[in-house]
Structure formats: structure tokens, C-alpha cells
Amino acid sequence: MRLILLGAPGSGKGTMAADLVKEYQIPHISTGDIFRLNIKNKTPLGLEADTYIQQGALVPDSVTIAMVADRLAQPDCKTGFLLDGFPRTVEQAEALKVMLSACKCKMDAVVELELSDEEIIGRLTTRRVCSSCGKTYNLDSNRPLQDGICDACGGALYQRDDDKPDTIRQRLANYNRQTMPLSDYYKNQNLLVRINNEGEVGSSLPAVLAALRSRA
């Protein structure tokens, strides 16, 4: 199964990705993880990307696309994968199409998680992250046993700067401008599966699986 997961920040992609890779036994290909791994290992692409990141600039598409192409060429991706965070633009989607064509592969589906801006802001502003181990909590749906303290390691919980209302609205505006065109792009290719992800976290998985089965 070859899948792309689309959705605005806070739409529940992390939970859905974890459930789908477990269901289909495929690797979770996150652009954030690819960047961190390449930078950590000081690969040529990682070093190039890091020069932009250190300057606070966006990493060019050419570098991002090359990193993704390298990752998809690994043996564990031969029978499938879940792409999360790529493509972000129609240009990147076109590059992905070329990559897949070169290996005579094709996408099975693009899952888009839909959530209202109000719900997203509510979810993200109540998110807290452990400063030691990175475990994530939510003050509404997944509270720690002790306020401000991580259950797993006892570290202090904090609110990320990008989880504050004004920053969230800017992130949503960026997503709507840059990534939302992918929705129509993949709809026109009959690949798009739209899922309303309101409600309890993780509750939409059966609907996603049913939609994917119906396409088989």
C-alpha cells in the first residue's frame, strides 16, 4: 500500500499515521525525520539542508525531493510506504509522480483529514510536550496524571511556541495557501479520500480503512 497523508497542522495526522503504518506494515516516511537523519549523519544532502535551516530559510524543493527520492529507494519501501509531510506543493507532487514512474510504481490513495480551524486551534492550544522525552499530552483528551509533569519520565511539560493561537492561525494560512491545492490535484487523479476527523482522537480509523478497502 502506497499512501500520502494530507491534513492541516493539528488535524490528527500523527495518530492516523501511526495507526495506518501498523495496519499495513509499511514504513512511515516523514520529511521531518528524513531531514533530522540526514543532518545527524552529515550526508551531503543533510549538510546542504542544514545551511538553509541555520539561516532560517526554507530548504529548496530540489534538496527535499532528493532526500525523499533517496528514502523511497530503500528496500523497506519496495512494497509500500506512507508519506507524511511530502508533497507539500503541486510542484513536489509532480516530482513524486516522476519518481514513482521511474520505478513503475503508483500511489494507491491520498488520505486527507478534514477538521475545522476552530477544532484545530482548540486541540493545539491544549497540547503540552515533555521537555525531556518529547511525549505529548492534551489537557482536554489526554491529561497527565500530575499537572505539568510527564507520566513517562517526570519531565516538565511545556507549550510549544507554535501551539499558541496567533502562530496556529498563521500556520493554517500557510497550509491553505501552499498545500490545499494538492486536494484538487489528487481529486482530479481519482486518488483522494476525504475523511472528517472530528471527534475522539483515533476514532476515524475505521472510516479510513473502509474507504481504502473500497478502492482495492
Tens digit of each residue's pLDDT (9 = 90 or more) over 131-173:
999 898 999 888 999 999 999 999 999 998 888 898 889 889 8
What is the model's pLDDT at position 9? 87
Domain tally, the chain: 1
Residue 120 domain-assigned? yes
Instruction: Please report, for the domain that includes residue 199, its CATH number.
Output: 3.40.50.300
- Structural domain includes residue 72: no
Q: Provide the domain limits for residue 13.
A: 2-26+79-215
Per-residue pLDDT of 90-136, as tens digits, reads 999 999 999 999 888 999 999 999 999 999 998 899 999 999 998 98
CA 173 to chain centre: 17
With a pLDDT cut of 70, the percent of the chain lying above it is: 100
In a domain, 51, yes or no: no
- Identify whether 13 is a catalytic site residue: yes
pLDDT at residue 50 in the model? 87
What pLDDT, on a 0 to 100 scale, did the predictor assign at position 140? 87
Rounded to two decimals, what is the model's pTM?
A: 0.84
Q: Is 128 a catalytic residue?
A: no
Which pLDDT score, from 0 to 100, does residue 174 have? Answer: 85
Mean pLDDT of 178-205: 91
Which position among 88, 97, 135, 194 bears the catalytic label?
Answer: 88
Residue 54 in any domain: the answer is no
- The rounded mean pLDDT for the chain is 91
Catalytic residue chosen out of the listed positions 22, 40, 160, 169: 160
Q: Is residue 170 part of a domain?
A: yes
φ and ψ at residue 196, rounded to 5 degrees: -75, 120
pLDDT of residue 7: 92
Q: Is 194 known to be catalytic?
A: no
Model confidence at 4: pLDDT above 80: yes
Annotated catalytic, 215? no
Q: Is 143 a catalytic residue?
A: no
